[in-house]
Amino acid sequence: MSVVMAGVGVQPRWVGIGMASLLSTSSSPGINSNGKLRIKMAVTPVDEKKKAYTLQKSEEAFSKAKELMPGGVNSPVRAFKSVGGQPILFDSVKGSRMWDIDGNEYIDYVGSWGPAIIGHADDEVLGALAETMKKGTSFGAPCLLENVLAEMVIAAVPSVEMVRFVNSGTEACMGVLRLARAFTGREKIIKFEGCYHGHADPFLVKAGSGVATLGLPDSPGVPRAATFETLTSPYNDIETVENLFKTNEIAAVILEPVVGNAGFIPPKPGFLDALRQITKENGALLIFDEVMTGFRLSYGGAQEYFGITPDLTTLGKVIGGGLPVGAYGGRREIMEMVAPAGPMYQAGTLSGNPLAMTAGIHTLKRLKEPGSYDYLNKVTGELIQGIVDAGKKAGHAICGGYISGMFGFFFTDGPVFNFDDAKKSDTSKFARFYRGMLEEGVYFAPSQFEAGFTSLAHTTEDIQQTIAAAEKVFQRI
C-alpha cells in the first residue's frame, strides 16, 4: 500500500511495514558544468589485521569530564544513558567519517545532529571560513554576509518573506513563540507529544529528544505558570487539535512537520493540510519548526516537500553549515512586529556573526546544485531498506522510513504514527544493536528516539559497509 502525501503527491518512504516502495535513481550529487563530481570520497580499505576495538582513552577522559561538567557532557543527548556504556570522545571528522581519541574510525549517521549535510569539514567551507576569519570572528554590528544568507533563505523557503538570525534552534523557537503571541494577542499554544522545540520553559511539556531518551518528566525548575498555556496533542491526531480549538483561544500551533526528536515519524496524508485549514479558520498561526527538516528534506524544507506553507518557520543546523546558528522567519506583516521594526523584543550579541553566515552560504550553494537531493534520497533509501531487510531476515521486529537525507528505524513491527507508537519499540534491543554497531565502526545517534542523517559525502560503499555490519550485529543480538 502506497500513501500519497497531502499537497503535492509526494511520499515519505517507509520500509518494513508494507508502505511505499523505495525510489531508485542514479543521480549524483553536485555535478559541475564540466561533468565532474564534486564529491570524491574514498572508503578506507579494510585492514585484514584490524586492531581490537578499545575505548580506553575515551573512558579515562570521560571520567575526568564527569568531575568538570554535569554528567560529563554539555548536552544530554550526547550521553549514553539509554544505550549503556559511556559517550565516545571524538578527535576529528571528515566527509562521512569520524575518528575518536582512541583512533577508532566510524561511518557517521549523526552529522552533528543534522548540519553536516554536505559532509564534515568540507574543504570549500573550511577555505571560506579561513578567509572570513582573517577579517574577524564577530563584529557585534551588521555585516554584508547577513544580507547574502538572508536573501538565500527567503528565496528558498516558501513561508519566509523576512528572517531574523539567532544562535540556536532553541533561541529561534523562543523568539517565534513570543512573536506569535505578540501578533495574535493570545497566549495559548498547541504542541505535539514527542516534538522537541528546544529547552525553553513553555516547550518542556511532553517533549522528545533528550527528555524522551533520559525518561525525564517535565523538567524540574520549570514553573507551572510557564507551561500553563501550552496544550498538547498526539502527533497525527487532528481530532484532538479540533477539540482544543473548540474550547481555547489559540495563538499558534507549532510542530516538527516531520518528527525527528521521537525518531523518524512523517505526517499522515492530510494532517498538515488540516492543521493549515484549522489555524486559518480560527485566526491562529501555523508554525513549522524546521530546525531539523529545513534544507534537508528539500531545498525549501518540509513545507516545499509537502506543499504546505505555514505562517512562521524556525530554522537552524544546515543554514549554519556546522556553526552555531538559528533563525525564524515568515510573513512580512508578522515579522515587522520584531524589534527594532516593532515592539516585540529579541536580541543576540553573536546573531548573524560572519563565520556562521559564511558556512551557511557555502553549504546552501552546494545543496542548490543539480542532483543533490536525488543523491541523498538514493543513499538513504538504500541504507534504510538494507537495515530493515537485514533485521527482518534475522527474525527481529523492525520498521523504518526516510525522506531525502533523514531517516529512522524502530524495533517494533509498526507502523509508527506518534510518540506512543514509538515508545512500543524494544529499546533494550536497540541498545544492544547500537553497541554492536559501534564495534563494527558505525555511529548512530545514541537513542531510539532520534532521527538519523545522511550526507552528500556518504558513498555507496559506506552504505554497503553499514548494511554488512548490521547483518552481523543482528545475528548476534
**Cα(157)–Cα(161) distance, integer angstroms:** 9
CB–CB of 226/145 below 8 Å? no
Instruction: Select which of 100, 108, 122, 289 is catalytic.
Output: 289
* Helices and strands counted in the chain (H then E): 15, 15
317 is catalytic: yes
Helix ranges (H only) for 81-143 are 123-133
Q: How far is CA 219 from the centre of its chain?
A: 22
Q: Which residues contact 402 (CB under 8 A, 6 or more apart)?
A: 12, 13, 264, 377, 380, 381, 383, 384, 408
**Cα(275)–Cα(253) distance, integer angstroms:** 8
Q: What angle do CA 324, 124, 459 make, to 5 degrees?
A: 90
**Cα(302)–Cα(306) distance, integer angstroms:** 6
- Strands (DSSP E) found in 318-465: 326-330, 399-403, 406-410, 442-443, 452-453
Sign of the alpha-carbon torsion through 410, 412, 418, 420: negative
Q: Which residues contact 217 (CB under 8 A, 6 or more apart)?
A: none
**Cα(248)–Cα(204) distance, integer angstroms:** 20
CB–CB of 295/319 below 8 Å? yes
Q: Which residues contact 432 (CB under 8 A, 6 or more apart)?
A: 477
CB–CB of 109/443 below 8 Å? yes
Give the CA diameter of the chain.
67
* Strands, sheet with 250-255, edge to edge from the N-terminal-most edge strand: 162-166, 326-330, 312-316, 285-289, 250-255, 188-192, 230-233
Q: What angle do CA 443, 448, 450 make, to 5 degrees?
A: 75
DSSP type of residue 320: G
Instruction: Select which of 106, 109, 196, 402 is catalytic.
Output: 196
CB–CB of 197/156 below 8 Å? no
Which residue type, as a one-letter code, is found at position 207? A
Which residue type, as a one-letter code, is found at position 152? M
Instruction: Select which of 188, 206, 268, 317 is catalytic.
Output: 317
196 is catalytic: yes
By CB atoms closer than 10 A (0-12, 13-18, 19+), residue 59 is middle
Give me the active site residues, please: 196, 289, 317
